[in-house]
Every structure is written in C-alpha cells, then in structure tokens.
C-alpha cells in the first residue's frame, strides 16, 4: 500500500475513535453525571451482543482460537515476570500495581479500532484473545487487588460477566456449525453496533477522572506494559507461527494500555488505587501516538 493511501486509511480508522473519546472526556468534565447506567448498558447489553455477533458471523478455526489463547497467556505471564523483576530490582513491594502491567485493555480501545480495520473477523479474534484474560482478571486479579483474600468475590464477578458467556456461547455455536435465524443475527447486530461508541465514550469519561501520581514509578510501569507487551507479542506470534489478521490482532492487543477495570478494582479495595489509575492514564495517553504507528506497521 502506498504511503498516502496508508495514512488516509489510518486517519479514517482512528479519527472517529479518538473523536468519540474526546467527546466522552468533555462530557465527563462538564456534565458531571452518573455514568453507572451507561456502563451497565455497555457491559451487560451492547458489548456482549457485539461479541456474540462477531463470533457467529466469523470464520473461526478451533486451532486458531487455541493459538490466540496461548498468545494471551504468553503476554500476561511475560509481563508478570517483567513486573516481578522490576519490583525486585527496585526493592519495592507492591500488590495492585502488578495489575496494570499484566492486564491489557483488550476491549475498550482496541476492539472498535480492530473492528474498523479488520472487520468482524478481526473483532472475533480480539474477543477470543480476551477470554483467558477475562477469566484470570475476574478471579486472580480480584484476589490480588483485595490483598489476597477475596477470591470468592472475583469468581462472583466473573460469573456475572455477560461478555464471557456471549463470547463462549457464540464460539460453541460457530464451531458446531449451528444455523442461526436471520432475525437473531440482525437483532444482536443492531444491539452490538451500540457497543463501539459506548465503549469509547465511557473511556473518555474515565480518562477525565484519573490523575497522575508517583511519576517515576508510573513511567517505568507504563513502559513495561506497552513496550514489554509489544516484545512479548512478537515473541508469541513467532512461537505460534501466526500470520495475517491473527498476527496483526495479537500484536495490536499486546501493545495496548492497561485495562481500565484494574483501576476500578484497586479503588474498590483501596489498594494502591492512585498508582494504578496513574498507570492506566499514562498508558492510555501513550496509545494516542502508538496506535497510528501500529496500524501502519500492521496494515
């Protein structure tokens, strides 16, 4: 693809994405409204519908799905090792600060962009890659955030997460080649289309509520999350012999910012919540210049 064409395509993909985030940021700064109902609609209706639609309408091979799950585990495990090394070298003890280094924002930022860049097939691959993290984040992640005492709460959170059910159910129907009535496909598609703008608006509001704290530690942890994630993504696609859209999705997802949900967990249990939110904010801001470069490299 020629350079001007590539730049034009990238602008067309990320332009609407960043516009929606900015609108959400301004809305959160000036409206001062309760975002809880909007978050519930997104997480309990729109995003699960989008996940289910992507799963049932995409060509998915089980062998490819297992490779994506393996890639997700490699990136998480690798970043955990890097975090342990970092805190050992610094001679610091942390609990929740492992979370923004290990757990990536697989949904809010990358899913809309991947959907625009690679279509529903790319979105399905991204959701597949999220499944292992979703299970671990909502179990062991909650356990760590709670000070290693609330694994039951984590399991309850996981069991109440519709996205997991929608993704797994859609995957099973796809692999079993179960015919889905057109009216069902059209209905979930309609609901799912609300997921992209809702996720981006919520992300913009969330960014406006975060603040920078412990700058040196924040910068170090953020570089580890994004830079380490990219290196681990390269390692995983090499080890698993991934190519094409599968390779692009793994590398894109591995380089994304920290999961916004980890800041919610840290705040809930008052466990290094300011430091965690600071890393989430820093990595999210880092994504602004990184995403266009990634898209150019991958497309």
Q: How many residues does the chain have?
A: 299
CA distances to 175, 187, 215, 238 from 243, in Å: 21, 33, 38, 9
Q: Domain 3-298 falls in which CATH fold? A: Na+/H+ antiporter like fold (1.20.1530)
Residues whose CB is less than 8 angstroms from the CB of residue 283 and which lie 6 or more positions away in sequence, other chains included: 100, 105, 222, 225, 226, 257, 258
Mean pLDDT over the full length of the chain: 83
Q: Decide: 165 and 33 in contact? Cβ < 8 Å.
A: no
Question: What is the per-residue pLDDT across 128-162, written as a single tens digit (0 to 9) for each?
Answer: 898 888 878 877 777 777 775 656 666 666 677 78
Angle between helices 110-136 and 3-31 (to 10 degrees): 70
pTM score of the predicted model: 0.81
- Residue 145: exposed, middle, or buried by beta-carbon count in 10 A (0-12, 13-18, 19+)? buried
3-state secondary structure of 178: coil
Residue 258 pairs in a beta bridge with: 104
Q: Where are the domains of the chain?
A: 3-298
Residue of 125, 205, 204 lying closest to 167 (CA atoms): 125
Percent above pLDDT 70 for the chain: 90
Predicted local distance difference test score (pLDDT) of residue 120: 79
Residue entry with tokens 């955990």: 80
Q: Decide: 204 and 24 in contact? Cβ < 8 Å.
A: yes
Span between the terminal Cα atoms of the chain, in Å: 8
DSSP symbol at 272: S
What is the distance between the alpha carbons of residues 41 and 195, in angstroms, rounded to a whole number?
A: 9
Question: What is the per-residue pLDDT across 41-96, written as a single tens digit (0 to 9) for each?
Answer: 877 888 888 888 888 888 877 888 899 999 999 999 999 999 999 888 887 777 78
């Amino acid at each position: 693809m020629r350079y001007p064409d590539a730049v034009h395509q990238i602008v067309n993909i990320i332009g609407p994405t960043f516009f929606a985030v900015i609108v959400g940021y301004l809305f959160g700064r000036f409206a001062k409204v309760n975002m809880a109902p909007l978050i519930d609609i997104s997480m309990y209706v729109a995003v699960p519908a989008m996940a289910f639609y992507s799963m049932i309408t995409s060509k998915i091979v089980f062998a490819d799905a297992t490779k994506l799950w393996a890639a997700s585990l490699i990136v998480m495990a690798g970043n955990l090792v890097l975090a342990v090394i970092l805190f050992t070298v610094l001679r610091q003890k942390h609990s929740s600060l492992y979370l923004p280094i290990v757990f990536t924002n697989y949904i809010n930022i990358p899913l809309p962009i991947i959907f625009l860049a690679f279509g529903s097939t790319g979105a399905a691959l991204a959701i597949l890659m999220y499944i292992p993290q979703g299970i671990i984040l909502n179990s062991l992640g909650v356990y760590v955030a709670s000070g290693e005492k609330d694994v039951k709460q984590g399991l309850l959170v996981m069991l109440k997460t519709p996205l997991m059910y929608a993704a797994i159910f859609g995957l099973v129907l796809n692999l079993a080649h179960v015919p889905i009535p057109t009216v069902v496909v059209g209905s979930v598609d309609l609901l799912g289309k609300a997921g992209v703008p809702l996720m981006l608006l919520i992300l913009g509001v969330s960014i406006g509520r975060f603040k920078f704290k412990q700058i040196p530690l924040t910068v170090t942890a953020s570089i580890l999350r994004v830079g380490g994630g990219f290196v681990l993504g390269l390692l995983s696609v090499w080890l698993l012999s991934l190519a094409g859209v599968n390779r692009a999705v793994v590398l894109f997802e591995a380089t994304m910012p920290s999961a916004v949900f980890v800041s919610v967990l840290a705040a809930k249990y008052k466990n290094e919540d300011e430091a965690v939110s600071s890393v989430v904010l820093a990595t999210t801001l880092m994504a602004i210049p990184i995403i266009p470069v990634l898209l150019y490299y991958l497309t």
